[in-house]
Chain A
Amino acid sequence: MRLMLSGSAAGLLATIALASYSGTSTASQSAATSDQAQETKAPLQEPQDTASLSRLRLLSEDQYLNSVRYVFGPDVAPEPHFPPAQRRDGLLALGSSITGVTTAQLELYQKSAVTIANTVIDPKYRAFLITCKPKNEKKADKACATQFLKEKGRLLHRRPMTQEELDVFVTQANKSANDLKDFYTGIGVALEAMLVSPNVLFVAETTEPDPERPGRQRLDAFSLATRMSLFLWDAVPDDNLLKAAESGEIQTPEGRARVVDMMLSSRRLDAGVRAFFDDMFGFDDFNSLSKDPATYPQFTGQVAQDAREQTLRTIVDHLVNKRGDYRDLFTTRETFISPALAMLYGEPAPAGWTPYTEAPDSPRAGLLSQVSFLALHSHPTRSSPTLRGKALRETLLCQRVPPPPPNVDFSAVDNPDSPFATQRERVAFHLKNPVCAGCHKITDPMGLALENFDSSGRFREEERGTKIDASGSLDGKSFSGAASLGQVLRDYPGLTSCLVQRVYSYGSGGALRPEDKKTLDYFNARFAEAGYRVPDLLRTIALSNAFSAIVEPKSPAPAVKTASSAN
């Protein structure tokens, strides 16, 4: 198919530059310090004045692919390799609300659009993807083009297209069909243009007056449906959800509850939960993770891939299938294993993924002892109590560990002929230097409890012939080994509130504000009441006023600069 991009779409995207509606992330720090002691005292009724900001977000690659698969089927599978968003306040999802699209990125979107359009009009697929037939395949057929583009355009735009919007694409399809003497090529050109349209690639939330709360704004039905769908399914709304928006049902308390419950009971929730935890745990770093092959020859690309998958499978199984307590993720001995991971575990495993239970006396228990956490937070040639401790505090407890001072001298600890037999001795060296000690006291004590696992995540009892001491502490509580650390973390007050903070900011699409504290207190209380069951937390958030009510930003939203507006 010839590359023919809608002039308006290309022009709009070529120079588009966006800024966040949501302000800076520094405010989240105060919200993150929510007093845990108040969790149980917080009201179980949502405060009346809660609200979030409306957002303008770029679809992530996974959201784009999940949506394309839903609209066109699994055979339509481009490999887009869109650039990742910038991580903000612990989440890539927040970076997608402050992103822009460069011309180079636009080229990637266009390549994907070409692949999708070519597949859809391929004779193998067109019969069932294009549900009408043209009267003459050699020329335009306005009725059939309109039917197809209206149907797919509704799903891709996450709302019915306006007549004006539809006319643009139909006109393009007809012109191309007549010029090129092929109806399907015309459809392909119009579809390609639609797929690179800003209205498809960006989620621009729109609001309307809230009839229940005069003077306040709420998301309109389609924006609410999209926010829910990205939150719970990591995809755009399906036909049922759009119907609930079109009928207005989603704006009624009962209707909205029905829709949310339907979404929570769908298997598509797995994709949503996986996407959230993949984001929260920083698993995008697996894309660039490598170990020194001479030091860890068994840490292959397959092991890295399976380590990520093992944790995500564990999470979905525990939280969604078994409706388990979130805190128990850090002590559970139930997981899954693959042949590649089994090599690191020193255990057998049949082909594929197999349920796997750690023995009661196994040093592995909970997510902290899984290869994903251990390997992701280590150096290429050695384990790192510091990186592991830092990750535990920042990723799981939403705390911030300051970066090392710029003038720190790493020569002693980076010496390849290290005089230190163990990592414990190495990090103890930090404590001799007051400049280093301040932060290392925050990170190292809990990281040292994971020292029975090397940088690849493999169990070891010794390091350089010296028996490993896996004792550690976390804010005054002492323990030894990964299993004990997991137990202490499970009962750590900030564990669940960190999750609440991350889930809410992920779902509402932006960084937290100081005003969100009351909202978070409410969510924390409901989460505790629900026994820390994540589907219940998702339901609470998706049904909350904070999720759908919109507050105006304190500063005006930055203008969306485009070629057309700039000219």
Chain B
Amino acid sequence: MPITINGAEYELDVDPRTSLLDFLRRDAGLTGTKKGCDHGQCGACTVLLNGQRINSCLTLAVMHDGDSVTTIEGLGTPDAPHPLQAAFVRHDGYQCGYCTPGQICSAKAMLDEIAAGWTSFVSDDVAGTPKLSEEEIRERMSGNLCRCGAYSNIVAAISEVAEAQA
């Protein structure tokens, strides 16, 4: 079975060693997903796998036949941006731009996780309903390093989109 990426199907006829990240960047030609560390330590390669965020560097492409992947290119385009992409621009939630696609994919999934009621380590009551506070956003976005240090603006961008959705 092929893998579906942003709605298009791709055959997985590759060296089994190929990470999903390298498959996206090389074989699918989708370089919006970035390689920052290749070891799950930075989050630049974050994509949505069947709707959930993962580090695409730490899984093999061949393991994902039949799966559906959404990358940054699948969220929106320069002409038709996703609300998060537009909010990141307005709030300057990026500088060099290299961690940015991962940040935005991560933020998209994060909002879905909160909507699904998933709590985090900073939630007051792990059994309760999570609140969308800045502290929650910071904890939940901590898997995406930004060396330029745009964190304050990233939180502002996500907060704005979350409030608009609420």
Instruction: Report if A and B associate in a common complex.
Output: no
* Chain A residues packing against B (C-beta within 8 Å): none
* Chain B residues packing against A (C-beta within 8 Å): none
